[in-house]
Amino acid sequence: MEDKVKLTGKSILEKKFTKDVKGYNPDEVDAFLDEIIADYASFAAYQKEISAYVGGLEKKIQDGEGLIASKDTEAKTLWEKNKQLEIDNASYKKKLDGIKPSDKPTAENLGYIQRINLLENFLFTHGFTEADLDKKPD
């Protein structure tokens, strides 16, 4: 704040003017009113400055809250994708459990596995469960 505030509520209330023949000395009253006007101008400038500063802080808070919400949504999405990948990984581990390192999987074997996977998906979409597939034929 460039201009310093010179008056307080108490100083305004307690201000005494000397009496003249016609009343108070007009020069003293004018000088005092000039001080009050300068203080009001200082207060107005300060209020404008503070309002702009508070507005900037509120914008930063809103931006921060938006960023947090965005990161929360992104984290949830990533968590769900990770969960699905873990399920898929466990499924593939189960399917490939019988292959030993010495078996040397070939492209043909991998093709069979992909084909079996497609057939299993087809059966599952038509109401068969994994328990149905695990049953031995009579």
Long-range contacts of 35-44 (CB under 8 A, 24+ apart): 35/6, 35/7, 36/7, 36/12, 38/3, 38/6, 39/3, 39/5, 39/6, 39/7, 41/3, 42/1, 42/2, 42/3, 42/4, 42/5, 43/5
pLDDT tens sequence across 54-106: 999 999 999 999 889 888 888 889 999 999 999 988 888 887 777 766 666 67
Q: What's the pLDDT at 120?
A: 84
Residues 33 and 91 in one domain: yes
What's the first-to-final CA gap in the chain, in angstroms?
A: 94
Residues 41 and 77 in one domain: yes
Rounded Cα distance between 14 and 96, Å, is 94
Residues 109 and 89 in one domain: no
Highest mean pLDDT out of 20-29, 55-64, 85-94, 109-118: 55-64
Q: In degrees rounded to 5, what are phi and psi of residue 23?
A: 135, -145
Q: What's the pLDDT at 137?
A: 65
Whether pLDDT at 27 is above 90: no
Residues 104 and 40 in one domain: no
Name the domain count of the chain: 2
- Could you tell me the residue range of the domain that residue 103 belongs to? 98-138
Q: What's the pLDDT at 136?
A: 66
Mean pLDDT score, 93-121:
79
